[in-house]
Amino acid sequence: MNYQKYAQEFWENGYLVIENFFSDELMDHLNQVILHHYGMNPDWEHSNEFIEKAATEVIPWFPIREGDQHFNVIEEDERLKQLTKSILGDHWESLYLMVMFSKMGTKGQAWHQDSPPEDSEKFNLNRLFYTHDINEKTGGKTIVMPGSHKKGELPAGNPHEDLENQVVLSPKKGTLVILHGHAWHRVLPINGEYRVSANARAIPSGTPEDITDVAVYRNMRYRFSTSEVIEER
């Protein structure tokens, strides 16, 4: 794997897609672990205000934080570590591993940035992997705006509208998507029985651990730790 080339591509576009990064066997196994954890009809965890206003319907789970060992193999993957190091430099750190589950017929996730972009040095790195195919049938495709990690604040506007030059990703089982937290991104509505993604987030050295506490949406900034809208847009 040419880590330097991948890092260059990442810094140019704000994202990177590598198919077949993880094996089908590992992904099938983790998908089972995930479905076992959630069941098919899990309760929402976010406040109703957030779900309505953010137009984001996803239920997070932090398995490693809860002592579940099944996902350690992702954090310990040497290729993923090397790739992360070539992007973030030495002394990068793992932030947390978050699984996201969305039910059939839900909205996906509106356009957002995972953290405010005012300080370009302070950001999280999403290391997303997919335990099942995301396609026309399942819905839930991930949309990214190339180069937007360098464009500052996501413009205010309609939470889910198509934007010119957006790129639609259909990650397959085992695909790794590396995505800058300041890049503008969203997830389309879910058509299949469920949609699952997982994200082993990392940070460059010197980044505050609560970097992802405030997210930027087109209609607000939202603080997760206190469940409050801190700015209307």
Ligand X SMILES: O=C(O)CCC(=O)C(=O)O
For residue 153, the one-letter residue type is E
Report the helix count and the strand count for the chain, using DSSP H and E.
5, 13
Shortest Cβ 180–Fe ion spacing (Å): 10
Task: Please give the residues from 136 up to 175 whose contact with ligand X meets the rule CB under 6 A.
Answer: 142
Contact call for residues 17 and 169 (beta carbons, < 8 A)? yes
Partner in contact with 84, chosen from Fe ion, ligand X, none, beta carbon below 5 to 8 Å by kind: none
Least distance from C-beta 4 to ligand X, angstroms?
A: 25
Give the residue, chosen from 55, 83, 114, 117, that forms a contact with ligand X under the rule CB under 6 A.
114
Choose from Fe ion, ligand X, none: what does 221 bind? Cβ within 5-8 Å by kind: none
Using alpha carbons, select from 129, 144, 106, 122 the residue that is nearest to residue 10.
Answer: 144
| Token pair of 160 as six digits | 């889910």
Residue 109 binding ligand X, by CB under 6 A:
yes
109 or 207: whose CB is closer to ligand X?
Answer: 109
43 Cβ contact partners less than 8 Å away, ≥ 6 residues apart = 59
The answer to the question of residue 190 lying near ligand X (CB under 6 A) is no
At its nearest, how many Å lie between ligand X and the CB of residue 142? Answer: 4
User: At closest approach, how far in Å is the CB of 171 from ligand X?
Assistant: 7
Instruction: Catalog residues that contact Fe ion under the rule CB under 5 A.
Output: 114
Burial class (CB in 10 A: 0-12, 13-18, 19+), 46: middle
Cβ-proximal residue to ligand X, closest one: 197
| Cα 76 to chain centroid, rounded | 19
* Residue 131 interacts with ligand X (CB under 6 A): yes or no: no
Dist CA 173 CA 208 (whole Å): 32
List 64, 97, 128, 220, residue binding ligand X (CB under 6 A):
128
Q: Does residue number 106 form part of the binding site for ligand X (CB under 6 A)? A: no
Tell me which of Fe ion, ligand X, none is bound by residue 87, counting a contact when its beta carbon lies within the kind-specific cut-off of 5 to 8 angstroms: none
Task: Please enumerate in sequence order all residues whose Cβ is within 8 A of that of 11, keeping only pairs 6 or more positions apart, or say none.
Answer: 87
d(CA 140, CA 78): 29
Decide whether 84 or 109 has the Cβ nearer to ligand X: 109
Tokens of 113: 């940035």
180 near ligand X, rule: CB under 6 A: no
Sign of CA dihedral 132, 137, 142, 144: positive
# of chain residues touching ligand X (CB under 6 A): 10
- Residues at the contact surface with ligand X, assessed by CB under 6 A: 100, 109, 114, 126, 128, 142, 185, 187, 197, 199
